[in-house]
Amino acid sequence: MVDQKKNYFQRRNKDRGPKANNRINSPEVQVISSNGENLGILNTNQAISIAKEEGLDLIEISPNAKPPVCKIMDMGKFKYDAQKKANKAKKKQKKIDLKEIKLRPVTEVHDYTFKIKNAQKFLSKGDKVKFTIRFKGRELQHKHLGNELMEKIKADILSLGKIELHPKFDGKQMIMVIQPL
C-alpha cells in the first residue's frame, strides 16, 4: 500500500518536445546550419558551441536517424511554428457526428416521412445516421416487419448515402448505419 502511494505522488515526467542543446545525449550529430546548409557530422559539444556563437539553439529534428539530425535555430520560433502547424491541421479536420433515429416496426406513415426528412438533412450536412428499430413484447415475433422497414429506408436514402453497417439484430432492436456519399 505504501509503495502505491509513493508512486502516486511522484512527479510525472512529461515530454517537453524535441531535445535541445545539452539534453541531446548522442556523441555525434548531423548538423544543419541556420541558413539550411549541411555542416556534416560533428561532435555534439562542438555543434552546441557553433549554435551558441550564433545566439541560437541546437535542436534535434530527427532523433531516430543514425547519427541524429540537428538544426541550429531558435527554440521559441521552432515551438511556435510547430504549434501553428498543429492548429492548422486541427482546423482542417471535419468532425463527423453520428445521429440516431429511433423507429418502431409499427411506425405510421407521417412519422416515418418526418424521420426520413431529418435523416436526409443529417446526411446532407455530412453526418452519419444510425437507424434503430425497437421491438417490444410480441413485436419480436414479427421480425419481417423490421426487415421491410429497413428495406424501405434503404430505398428512400440511397440517393444521399451508402450503407456502412447493414441491418442486423442486436438484442431487441435492429440497427443500420448509413454514411453520406
Residues 107 and 176 in one domain: yes
pLDDT value at 107 more than 60 = yes
The residue count for the chain: 181
pLDDT value at 86 more than 70 = yes
DSSP helix, strand, coil percent of the chain (3-state; round to 5)? 45, 30, 30
Query: Which pLDDT belongs to residue 170?
Result: 87
Q: Count helices and strands (H / E) in the chain.
A: 5, 8
Confidence band of 15 (pLDDT split at 50, 70, 90): low
Residues 82 and 130 in one domain: no
User: Which of these three, 86, 113, 136, is where a domain ends?
Assistant: 86
Domain coverage including residue 61: 17-86
pLDDT value at 13 more than 70 = no
Q: What angle do CA 128, 129, 134 make, to 5 degrees?
A: 150
Digit-coded pLDDT (tens) for 135-153? 999 988 988 999 999 999 9
The residue-averaged pLDDT of 9-37 equals 78
pTM for this model (two decimals):
0.53
User: How would you list the strands of the sheet with 128-134, edge to edge?
Assistant: 98-103, 128-134, 173-180, 161-170
Q: Is residue 126 assigned to a domain?
A: yes
Residues 63 and 103 in one domain: no
Spatial contact of 105 and 145, defined as CB atoms under 8 Å apart: yes
Query: Which pLDDT belongs to residue 26?
Result: 84
Digit-coded pLDDT (tens) for 36-49? 888 888 888 888 88
The residue-averaged pLDDT of 104-129 equals 92
Query: Which pLDDT belongs to residue 10?
Result: 65
Query: Which pLDDT belongs to residue 119?
Result: 93
CATH of the domain at 120: 3.30.110.10
